Amino acid sequence: MSADGFSAWTAGDVFVAATELNNPDDDHAGRGRLLQYDAALNLRGTLYIEQTTHLLGGLKFDPNGVLWAFDSQGFRVLNIHRDGRVVLRNEFGSRSYSHVHFCRDGSLLLSEHVVGDAVRPEMQARMKTRLSFMPGTTRLGDGHVWRFSPAGQLLAEYATATHGGMGGFLGVTMSSLSPDEQTLVYCSETGPRLMRYDLVQDRQLPDLQSFEPPFPPGPPPMFFGMQHAIDGTLYVLRGAGIEVVDEHGKTQRSIPLPGFGWALMDLMTDGEHCLVANFFTGEVARIHLASGDKQASVTAGLPKSVAGLAEYRG
C-alpha cells in the first residue's frame, strides 16, 4: 500500500475505484487504485492498492466509516481506513464477492458476482481475461447472497436466482436492499431481468421487471446498478439512463444519459443528486435528479477500469 497525496476524508468526498489496467494480456488486470474527489469532482488524492490483482470495485462505506472494496476475480474483500491502511478480510472465504450491504442488526450481506462453471464460448472468445474456479472446486461460483456476522460467521445462504447476463456467468452483480431490509432487488448485469428475493421468508419473488425476446432494434434491454432512496423510490441504471421504478414494476420516469455504458450509481446524501459512472468511458458524473442535468463530470480512468463509486457521508 502506498499513498500519493491521499487527503483526510471530508463529508461529501467521492471515492472512485479506477484500476490501472497495465497488463496487455488481461484487460481486467492491473494495479488497484482508489481516487478521492471533492463533491465538485476535483481530485484530492490517490491511494494505490497492492493487495489486488484485478478490477477493484464494489465500494461502500460501513456505519463506522470504513470503506469496503472487492477484487471479485481475486476472491478478495478489503477494508480501507481513513489513514490509508488496507486490511484483507479473509474470514468470508474464497468466493467472488463484489459488493456488500450493512444491516441494522449488525449483519452484512455479501453478493457473489459469478455463477456456474463456464463462460459462453462466443463471449469467452471476445474476453481478454479468464475467470478462475473457486479454490478446490470446478465452479466459478454459485451466484448466491450470504449473510455474515461482523466477525465473519456465516448466518444464512440465500439461493438467489440469476440470469447470467450476456456471458452466461454473471451472478448477483448489483443489488439494492429495500429500506425495511426485507427485499433484495438485484440483477445479473447486462441481463434483461430485475429480480427480487425475500430475505425474511427466504424465497425468490417474481421479477420486478423482465424482458423477453424478440427485442426491438438497438442494444437489448439490460439492467445495471440500482439503489433505493430513503423514501423507498427505486432508481435503476439501464445503460443509457436512469429509470424510476415503482413497487409494481412500472417505470414512472426516465432520466436519459449521454451514450451507453452507465453501470454504477450512488444516490448522494442531499437527496437531490446521483453519482453515476460509465464503464466503457471511465467517466464519473454528478446528475441532478429532478432536471437530469449533468452538473459535474470527470474522466476517472481508462475505459473498463472504473468499477466502484461511493460518496463519503462522514
Query: Domain extents for the chain?
Result: 2-228
Q: What is the mean pLDDT of the chain?
A: 96
Section 100-111 average pLDDT: 98
What letter represents residue 115's amino acid? V
Section 27-46 average pLDDT: 96
Residue 3 scores a pLDDT above 80: no
Q: Which long-range contacts (CB under 8 A, 24 or more apart) does 245-250 make?
A: 245/194, 245/208, 245/209, 249/194, 249/207, 249/208, 249/209
Q: What is the pLDDT of residue 192?
A: 97
Confidence of residue 140 (pLDDT cuts 50, 70, 90): very high
Residue 1 scores a pLDDT above 90: no
Section 32-61 average pLDDT: 97
What confidence tens digit (pLDDT) does each residue in 144-169 have?
A: 999 999 999 999 999 999 999 999 99
Section 273-287 average pLDDT: 98
* Percentage with pLDDT > 70 across the chain: 98
Q: Is 131 exposed, middle or buried (0-12, 13-18, 19+ CB in 10 A)?
A: buried
Section 9-21 average pLDDT: 97
Section 31-48 average pLDDT: 96
Q: What is the pLDDT of residue 2?
A: 40
Section 297-313 average pLDDT: 97
Q: What is the pLDDT of residue 216?
A: 83
Confidence of residue 5 (pLDDT cuts 50, 70, 90): low
Please check whether residue 20 is in contact with residue 121, taking contact to mean a CB–CB distance below 8 angstroms.
no
What confidence tens digit (pLDDT) does each residue in 225-262 have?
A: 999 999 999 999 999 999 999 999 999 999 999 999 99
Q: What is the pLDDT of residue 218?
A: 81
Q: What is the pLDDT of residue 217?
A: 86
Residue 201 scores a pLDDT above 80: yes
Of 13, 69, 134, the C-alpha closest to 307 is: 69
C-alpha 3/C-alpha 23 separation (Å) is 22
Q: What is the pLDDT of residue 219?
A: 83
Residue 280 scores a pLDDT above 70: yes
Section 82-92 average pLDDT: 95
Domain 2-228 listed as CATH 2.120.10:
yes
Of 52, 54, 46, the C-alpha closest to 23 is: 54
Please check whether residue 195 is in contact with residue 207, taking contact to mean a CB–CB distance below 8 angstroms.
yes
Cβ density class 73-99: b for 16+ within 10 Å, e for less: bbbbbbebeeeeebeeeeebeebbbbb
Query: Residue 295: left if φ>0, alpha if ψ -120 to 50, beta else—which one?
Result: alpha
